[in-house]
Amino acid sequence: MSNAIQEFSRFAHEYDTYNVIQAAVAKSLVKQLDSSYFTTLIDMGCGSGEVYKNLEKQEVSFEHFIALDSSKEMLAIHPSGKKIEKICADFNLPQTFERLTLEEDSLLLSSSALQWSRNLDYTLSEISKKVSSVHFSIFTSNTFKTLHQTAKITSPIYSAEVLKDSIGKYYEATFELREYKLHFETVREMFNYIKKSGVSGGEQQLSYKQTKQLMKQYPLDYLEFEVLFVRGVSLEARSV
């Protein structure tokens, strides 16, 4: 698989699409599945259903799909159906894992969500006790790298090294790091995108004045994203 940087352009007429990169990431994640049939799939941080929609498009079938998200609003717009179970729960909390029962051969999917785990070791360790196979994508701290360097702030999310170390404690895993660039016509659009995309750049650490300054100084006409794709099999003896 190519590691070439994937480039996207976001033009003014596309003002509705604030999830260009997440959509591309979810599509790649589903494309990498090595089977077209699963008994149970669970999507952690399912959002409005990018993963589910790609499973449908790519004709991947399953008996049971669990869509888990901590946002009721997101779950409300996630596709519904006989095979779909929606769970409103937070992957940072023990009760989420206490009430989760999964079949032996379940596969955990997650796209662009686990970077919001407050304690990655905790979340991964709980997941590894519940499902042995995982396949997920997670944004790294190189997302908005130049923006952070220009503003002299640190990323609020984990680096690829920290992610790999933490994942390696619970999973026998293979990794693929991918870079994306999203081009913009104006700096203003770029900053609006950051605000609305849900991929926070840590810019909330900046005052209005500092943001204005950053918009003047930012040297690129694109935003950078880095995503770690992970396939893993749990090292833990299964406890369910």
Binding mask 194-223 for ligand SAM (x = CB under 6 A): ----x-------------------------
With CB atoms as reference, the residue minimizing the distance to ligand SAM is 47
Instruction: Indicate whether 50 belongs to the interface with ligand SAM (CB under 6 A).
Output: yes
| Nearer to ligand SAM among residue 228 and residue 235 (C-beta) | 228
CB contact set of 210 (below 8 Å; sequence gap of 6+):
151
Instruction: Indicate whether 69 belongs to the interface with ligand SAM (CB under 6 A).
Output: yes
d(CA 137, CA 36): 19
Binding to ligand SAM (CB under 6 A) within 16-45 occurs at 19, 22, 26, 45
How many other CB atoms sit within 10 Å of the CB of residue 129?
A: 17
CA-closest candidate to residue 230, choices 180, 183, 179, 160: 160
Tokens read off for 44: 């952690």
Q: How far is the CB of 127 from ligand SAM (least distance, A)?
A: 12
d(CA 3, CA 1): 7
Among the listed residues 28, 106, 111, 234, the single contact to ligand SAM using CB under 6 A = 111
Tokens read off for 176: 């693929």
Tokens read off for 238: 């299964």
Among the listed residues 38, 62, 65, 91, the single contact to ligand SAM using CB under 6 A = 91
Instruction: Indicate whether 112 belongs to the interface with ligand SAM (CB under 6 A).
Output: yes
Do the beta carbons of residue 42 and residue 106 sit within 8 Å? yes
Binding mask 153-192 for ligand SAM (x = CB under 6 A): ----------------------------------------
d(CA 239, CA 90): 21
Contacts with ligand SAM, residue ranges (CB under 6 A):
19, 22, 26, 45-47, 50-51, 69-71, 74, 90-92, 111-113, 116, 198
